[in-house]
Amino acid sequence: MAGVTDRPFRQLCKHLGAGYAVSEMVASNTALYASAKSQRRMNHIGEVEPIAVQIAGAEPEMMAEAAKLNVDRGAQIIDINMGCPAKKVCNKWAGSALLQDEPLVAKILDAVVGAVDVPVTLKIRTGWDPEHRNAVRVAKMAQSAGIRMLTMHGRTRACGYKGQAEYDTIREVRQHLDIPLTANGDITSPQKAIEVLAITGADALMIGRAAQGRPWLFREIEHFMATGELLPPPRVAEVREIMVAHLYDHYAFYGEYLGVRTARKHIIWYTKGLAGSAGFRQYMNTLDTVEEQLEAVNIFFEQQQAVRERIEYENEKTAPDAANDEQQNWEALAA
């Protein structure tokens, strides 16, 4: 996800249980690669393997060249984006807009697979709109071209992120493929992860928006799948520790000026729904230095901890066992 799955966030997700994390979308126009933004998106220094880079574009030759260049820079997997629904991407006939032109899809797949020796994967949606669902045809085309894994978001481009994910469509595609299939869309809990695997028959799951501000979701799912037991949610102190470590890595990666500004969205996601988070969010947008931002974060979490301790104290007085309930969620602090 552009602006989200940068190297610091990918590293954090892998540390917390994700087995695989794909880079931010990199444009296929290699003439843009000298820009600071492109350089950051292709920065994999110290990254936990496998290193997967997602490329986007509409010209087969440019996509092939972008794939080769990124492999030269350390990519071990190339992922082709034909799933992004953003207007600025689709208006350039890239992302999910390509699903409207199956001959062009075939040319891009052949060009990229033929250009590199590393595995090439593909991300798609179920189609352009509900009247034009062509995921099965595109999936078969991908397998024939040598795509090694297909990831499907269970909505059309026109649906954006509205409505329910079409797990039945993913299941239909699964029935026509021999290559691994990854299901994506609305996977927000360990229980939902198990449900989606059962419904779709998919080999793996990909999680995007649900991990924003909640990267420990990966270890929760991993633990539940291995044991059938739910992990207790992280307590306030651990959330603070994870968040602050993420921020330090984020600042080091972007530098102070850009780091402070791009960190705001992560801070908002981490604190969403907590007591006082609306006012905290507004205050956060007024801060311009690392020191100010970290101080505000630490004060906010100290206040959350104080509220949590007061709740536990009251619970212990009225029902001693309640204070020891491991399933008690620290998000209950929300107003």
Task: Confirm if 16 and 39 have CB atoms less than 8 A apart.
Answer: no
Q: Is 159 a catalytic residue?
A: no
Phi-psi region of 277 (alpha: psi -120 to 50; beta: other; left: phi over 0): alpha
CA distance 332 to 335: 8
Element (H, E) at 123: strand 120-125
User: Rounded to the nearest 5 degrees, what angle is found at the Cα of 256, between the Cα atoms of 252 and 262?
Assistant: 85
Amino acid (1-letter code) at residue 329? N
Catalytic hit among 13, 84, 90, 159: 84
Task: Confirm if 90 and 57 have CB atoms less than 8 A apart.
Answer: no
Task: Record the tokens describing residue 54, joined without a space.
Answer: 């997602």
For residue 192, which phi and psi values (nearest 5 degrees)? -70, -35
Task: Confirm if 182 and 162 have CB atoms less than 8 A apart.
Answer: no
The b-or-e profile of 57-73 (16+ CB within 10 A means b, else e) is: bbbbebbbbbbbbbbee
Task: Record the tokens describing residue 275, joined without a space.
Answer: 């007591």
DSSP string, 54-79: EEE-S-HHHHHHHHHHHHHTT-SEEE
Catalytic positions are 84
